[in-house]
Every structure is written in structure tokens, then in C-alpha cells.
Amino acid sequence: MTTDLPLLSNPRSERVRSVRSLGRRAVRERQRKFVVEGPQAVRELLQYAAPAALDLYLTHPAAARHTDIVALAEDLASGGDGGPGPGPGRGDGGLRVRLCTDEVLAAMTDTPHPQGMIAVATPTDVPLAEALAAVSRAGSANADKSGSTGATASHPFVVVLTNVRDPGNAGTVLRAADAFGSAAVLVSDASVDVYNPKVVRSTVGSLFHLPVSVGTPVPELLAACRDAGLRLFAADGSGETSLPDVDLSVPHAWVMGNEAWGLEPEVRDLCDEVVSIPIVRAESLNLAMAATVCLHASASAARS
């Protein structure tokens, strides 16, 4: 099918400018759209968040190389059974697939190598209550032990990002949350936009694998976690409790702070324990590394 499509070849077209403008947060928020770059992230979008996919732009060589993605896209474009129906913001009820030249693709993003493929999608985040419902589901999966495949099964846990500003760190935390079976990721209002192209790129698809909520102020976020029965662990180098001494065999939330200045005292005070990772030298773990260690510990506890 894709070989029949007209080739977009004008890097100065209105469409190209429109996609490129999604690099700016204000435009993303106004249009409720964002860009997903590269075959791996596009594949995960089409597989895990199909209703959100609006447009797929790809080069001929990329289409030839990634026939699995083309097949997925064609199924969605024809309104097939690839997803639960048209998503919000989709006019014609199907994914629009368009071939384009390398120049057009390069003009659409700031990425040096989008690897021949980008998609435009509507936001995939869910309301906070829905994200926290995923915690209850993970918990009840423990009760009957049926259909339990992930580490979330026995002791569900979530990650809370407060004031995280660096896109690479935020993306890596999302990736760790995905790898180690976090039930959800809850992002505060003062944190980096999860639809920032650098965040999307560094999650390598994890953004579409688990419920992510955005935009809630920190106090409300922590109150909602507490109401959902989660114990609140602040991850902070200054913590008096050492990670090996924490009982992770209860439903819990890891509360992560800003990469440079850590957690504010008032946020730490809202948590049940302030937990530090034992290290040989101070200041040697960044946010992404700390989150990786904490979430791995939660996953280990969930398995035991």
C-alpha cells in the first residue's frame, strides 16, 4: 500500500512547519499533539497506544526496512482491529501514513538521525485516578495470583517525579519504571513535559507501556498516593534510612526530586521515610541512577 502513496518532498511546506513547531511546549499544549521519533518508539506507539497515533511520516528506505511497522500502520490506517477505534483528535478514524524524503523528515525535527520515521500523536497520559487504579489492579493480581506476569504482582509500587527538569533523566526514570514493573509514573506539574522530544526519545517507547499521569501539584499527588494505600519513600542522598533497611514488601511510591537540588524539605516531610542509597563517595549518583537502583530494589522485593 505505502508504495502507492504520494511522496512529500517540500521541506518548506506548511505541514513540515506545523510538525516542526511541536518541538515547542506551548505549541504541543495548544494543539495537544507531540512527535515520536525513530522506528523503535514508533513501533511501541502503534502497539501500545494505537488510538493516540495520528500521522506516520516515513522514508522509502525506512518503509522497506521496517515492514512490521508498515503492516501495523496499514492495519490502523484502514480502521482495522489494531486498536480500540479512533482516538481523540483523529478526524477520519484512521492513522494517516505518508511517505516523505529525507529532507522533509530532517526538517520536521531537531534530531540528527530520526532513522527515517516519525509519528505525530495525541497525548497518552491518563488522569491521576486512572493511574492509581492501576496500582489497585496490580495489588489485586497478587490476591488471586492469576495472570500475574510482572514484578508488580506482589507489592505494587509507583514512581512520583517532583520538579524533575532534565529530559534525559526523566526519560531514563520512565524507562527504569517500565523495566522494573512500576504500576504507574506520576509526574508533578512543575516537572519537565513528558512529551518533550528528548524525553520521548530517551524513554525508547516506555512512555507507552505504563500509565503516566501529568500535571498534578506535588501535595495533591502525595495525598492521592497515600489515599491509595501507598507508603511514601522519598529518595534522597540525605536520607537517614538506608535502602537495604527499607521494607519494600508493602505497596509504595518512590518520590524523586530535582536532579540538582534534590527534594525540598517540605516534600520530604510529607513522606513516610527518607531513603538513601549506600555509596562509597558522595554526589556520585545522578537522578536516573538513583531511580534505577531504587526501582530495581522494589522489583526484587516484589519477586521474593
Question: Where along the sequence are the contacts to a second copy (CB under 8 A)?
Answer: 149-152, 172, 175-176, 178-181, 204, 206, 209, 244, 277-281, 283-286, 288-289, 292-293, 296, 299-300, 303
C-alpha of 41 from chain center: 11
Residues contacting residue 250 through CB under 8 Å, at least 6 positions apart: 155, 231
Give how far Cα 238 sits from Cα of 254, 269, 283, Å: 15, 13, 11
Task: Kindly state the smallest distance separating residue 251's Cβ from a second copy, in Å.
Answer: 17
Specify the residue, 57 or 208, whose C-beta has the smaller distance to a second copy: 208
CB of 165 to a second copy, least distance (A): 15
Return the number of the residue (58 or 290) whose C-beta is nearest a second copy.
290
User: Cβ of residue 65: shortest distance to a second copy, in angstroms?
Assistant: 16
CA angle, 40 then 180 then 300, to 5°: 155
* CA 20 to centroid of chain Cα atoms: 21
CA distance from start to end of the chain:
50
The identity of residue 117, as a single letter, is M
Shortest distance in whole angstroms from residue 285 CB to a second copy: 5
Shortest Å, Cβ 31 to a second copy: 29
Best CA proximity match to 98, nearest among 53, 133, 132, 40: 53
Using CA of residue 296, residue 197, residue 287, residue 234, what is the dihedral sign? negative
Residues 6+ apart with CB under 8 A from 219: 270
**Closest CB 297 distance from a second copy, rounded Å:** 9
Query: Residue 209 or residue 252: which is nearer to a second copy going by CB?
Result: 209
Identify which of residues 188 and 206 has a Cβ nearer to a second copy in the complex: 206
Complex with a second copy: residue 266 or 283, whichever CB lies closer: 283
Nearer to a second copy, 109 or 169 (CB): 169
CB nearer to a second copy: give 11 or 150. Answer: 150
Phi-psi map region of 4: left, alpha, beta (phi>0 left; psi -120 to 50 alpha) = alpha
Q: Which three cell numbers stand for residue 286?
A: 545522578
- The CB-of-39 to a second copy minimum distance in angstroms stands at 13
Measured distance CA(211)–CA(185) in Å, rounded: 6
Instruction: Give whichever of 119 and 176 is closer to a second copy, judged by the CB atom.
Output: 176
Shortest Cβ distance from residue 298 to a second copy (Å)?
Answer: 11
Nine cell digits for residue 265: 524539605
Packing angle of the helix pair 128-144, 218-227 (nearest 10 deg): 30
Paired sense of beta strands 34-37 and 117-121, if any: antiparallel
Bridge-based pairing state of the strands 157-161 and 34-37:
unpaired
